[in-house]
Structure 1
């Protein structure tokens, strides 16, 4: 038996070995790719789904945003609390199998109501995906490597989006919009089995020589107490709020970008499968990886970098986002969009790494789940819902440019999110432990 009460699995290498840590990280990243691919398929195939099921922009915004987030966010909390007390790998494997089966079920939906139910089931499964992965990575890598590890792990969203666009749009163009849901669902079920067989449960806190104090999990700590411990810390609460505001932009843009490029800029589904997929994969992927490297470099000197770097990235992205919405040709719009795709997600590795480093190892999954609760309830739940409702609101007056006006309405959120991160940076600088403490002992790299 291991220290977490799970049977040791023969043939699995030491989780502290560099090569094995790389294998685990790669496997977890692939699961995140599937997680995000499943989540984004409805947005990627928005146009053919709208044509097939006769749904409005507001309905599309709710099904890709609020309805999904309602289950995804709140189920993540009890799942996170349970995973902190059981085997995190088993929770991840079960969750992956569940959301993949639900994704396949989306393909058989005959009307909007059935699609809503299937998407809610996807949200229930995905609630057990990311928080356990955060904790597994944090207990597999030393502190000075976690920013890069989280950056690599968080390549899941851009890679998932890019693969979803490339394969989803291609399969839909060649066959039918339902086929991608079947294929991706089947791959996910197989991956769930591989996760259980390949990924070991790491020892909790093996790279944390000294306890951290922001959120400490006491033995037998109750579910309610774990929640109060997180939100009772002002810095962690503001971190979650600022992340939610940034995610409002990310999902509000990404869930309607393909529909906007096709309906208002004239892209075809085949062109989306190539050019938009490249923009998402390269732009978002490079941004998340670079932000992880920046966090590792500057966060070691001062913790306020975990907030100031996202604030600067959002301010720099705003003019290019406005240019994307204004451009007349899809080629120009897509080129301008590459900059926000690169900069919008800088906050993700920063805030995730910050929170995971501030909490006790036994509270990492629940803390990650609570961060995702706020981040996704505000961002995923409200962002696409806002853009969809704004588009329908502007349609009577602006007709074919209603989504463009909805994106203009989204733009002020860049300033709101940047101000929240600047406030967070100020709070961190004023905290007693603004500088990252020296490690007490060296661990194998």
Structure 2
């Protein structure tokens, strides 16, 4: 590989920074497609359940553990590769794979086939987030990173919301199988676009001090694990975001089913009212949460960002409980909207803080380890345990079993709040030591 001159490096760096808004938008769009393909299943669960004769435990496995175990574990070797090769190329290949597997889900004739295709989606999506986190951290300095990560995190709520909208409307008219194909196939075209136009920055470009002239040798995976394990604030942040994700994945995956079963909403009503409202409010909360976190960090120190998330989580908890305890659809709908508004801010500050703690040349590995834990426990156990609890609660609660299963998951939120608070304490102490 030819070595670039100093002048060429300066020109490339200037171009990467000039186009960083475009790069962030493109990464957010990829993340949008990731969650659209992942969460289209949530709006289709009732149709798939009836067509393939499945129970809630099987639905939870499709949404959770079977998907998450491959998505999470493969993120580690992908991140190792991303710290050494083109992150743009990895993202493009991954997007192609998960989009194709989403479309193939529409051909499944039974639970086993659908499970295999969902595993394929998980394998593909493993290649998206770690390199994306690394690129964003290289494009934005610490004081702007939470805002950038907040924008990126809107891919979660917007992708999940629009997946539900598109999937629900197409399924209502043409069936759930065509909905899978309609959501999956466009991602292949986006992958080509990413490969052709995305600008990849040099590693460490936006860090204080800039890119080192003589970078140290790339660390091993074991060194990355040791460095993360030695950071107490990072450990608390990972625990906090993992518990939060477990509760969130349970709500996201079974929310449409809950509304259909407990409130009698139709698939079209969920697609046209619930899904877009959650998507827009969640996106607004994510963007504003990231911006406010950046301002608080600049004024009071980055540790305040962790406390900011803890306060919003605490404020959201009563509305989350009301969503599950109310039997009035209007009250429940208003409660879940307020809950999403307050609670959706956690991703931007959480990932920004973790990336800020990570050594420059270990960022993709740290992101992958974080996502490994989040997805094995949060995504893997959240929907799976909720589905199992729903089946276990049926003798006591009958048709309302899913309501109480989801409520049970939400009761873990105070545990997450504690870890956000503790992370802030340790970050403040670490900053004082210097």
Contact preservation (8 Å) 2:218, 2:361 = no
**Secondary structure, aligned partner of 2:16:** coil
Aligned to 2:67: 68
5 Å matches for 1:136-147?
A: 136-147=135-146
Contact 2:168 2:271 in 1 (8 A): yes
Aligned to 1:410: 409
Structure 1 segments unaligned to the other structure (5+ residues): 438-445
- Equivalent of residue 273 in structure 2, options 272, 275, 292: 275
Paired residue for 1:222?
220
Contact 2:28 2:152 in 1 (8 A): yes
Q: For 1:150 and 1:260, how far apart are their aligned partners in 2?
A: 30
How far, CA to CA, are the matches of 2:89 and 2:183 in structure 1? 21
CA distance in 2: counterparts of 1:3 and 1:134, whole angstroms:
25
- Is the Cα contact below 8 Å between 2:238 and 2:370 reproduced in 1? yes
CA deviations over 1:343-366 (Å, ceiling 9, x no partner): 223221111001111222211111
Matched position secondary structure for 1:85: coil
CA-CA distance at 1:415 after TM superposition: 0.9
RMSD of Structure 2 on Structure 1 (CA): 2.2
Deviation at 1:304, TM superposition (A): 1.6
Q: CA deviation at 1:420?
A: 1.5
Give 1:307's aligned residue: 306
Q: Distance in 2 between matches of 1:172 and 1:221?
A: 48
1:390, CA displacement in angstroms?
1.0
Partner residue of 1:16? 17
Structure 1 residue matching 2:54: 3-state secondary structure: coil
Matched positions, count: 426
* Worse overlay, 144-153 or 390-399: 144-153
In the aligned structure 2, how far is the partner of 1:190 from the partner of 1:273?
25
The aligned residue for residue 55 of structure 2 is 56
Q: Unpaired runs of 5+ in structure 2?
A: none
SS in 1 for 2:205: coil
> So what's the TM-score if we normalise by structure 1?
0.91
User: Structure 2 CA distance, aligned partners of 1:104 and 1:43?
Assistant: 15
SS of equivalent residue, structure 1 residue 155 = helix
Between 37-46 and 402-411, the greater mean CA deviation after superposition: 402-411
CA drift of 1:280 comes to 1.3
What is the aligned partner in structure 2 of residue 106 from structure 1?
Answer: 105
Question: Contact (CA 8 Å) 2:262, 2:399: kept in 1 or not?
Answer: yes
Q: Deviations over 1:378-414 (max 9, x none)?
A: 2111111121111111101110110111122123211
Give the aligned partner of residue 232 of structure 2. Answer: 234
Q: Give the conservation status (yes or no) of the 8 Å contact 1:96–1:192.
A: yes
**In 2, are the aligned partners of 1:307 and 1:422 still within 8 Å (CA)?**
yes
Q: Report the Cα offset of residue 429 of structure 1.
A: 2.0
1:126-167 deviation per Cα after TM superposition (whole angstroms, max 9, x unaligned): 011011111111112233222211111111011101211111
Which residue number in structure 2 is paired with residue 119 of structure 1? 118
Map 1:202-351 onto structure 2 (within 5 A): 202-210=201-209, 218-300=216-298, 301-351=300-350
CA distance in 2, matches of 1:12, 1:97: 28
- Retained in 2: the 8 A contact 1:266–1:330? no
Question: Cα gap change, 1:220/1:161 in structure 2, threshold over 3 Å: closer, same or farther?
Answer: closer
SS in structure 2 opposite 1:41?
helix
Q: Matches of 1:314 and 1:374 in 2, distance apart?
A: 20
The verdict on how the C-alpha distance between 1:2 and 1:413 changes in structure 2, with shifts beyond 3 A counting, is farther
- Rate the CA distance shift 1:426–1:169 in 2: closer, same or farther, 3 A: same
CA shift, 1:218, in A, is: 4.8
Q: d(CA) in 1 for partners of 2:407 and 2:129?
A: 31
| In structure 1, C-alpha distance between the alignment counterparts of 2:321 and 2:232, rounded to whole Å | 33
Indicate conservation of the 8 Å contact 2:219/2:361, yes or no: no
Supply the distance in 2 between the matched residues of 1:161 and 1:323 (Cα, whole angstroms).
22
Regions of 4+ moved over 6 Å: 10-13
Looking at structure 2, the residues matched to 2 and 360 of structure 1 have their Cα atoms a distance apart, in angstroms, of: 24
**Does the Cα contact within 8 Å between 1:12 and 1:200 map onto a contact in 2?**
no
2: CA distance, partners of 1:11 / 1:239: 34
CA distance in 2, matches of 1:3, 1:382: 47
Matched, 1:182 2:181: yes
Change (3 A) 1:224 1:3: farther
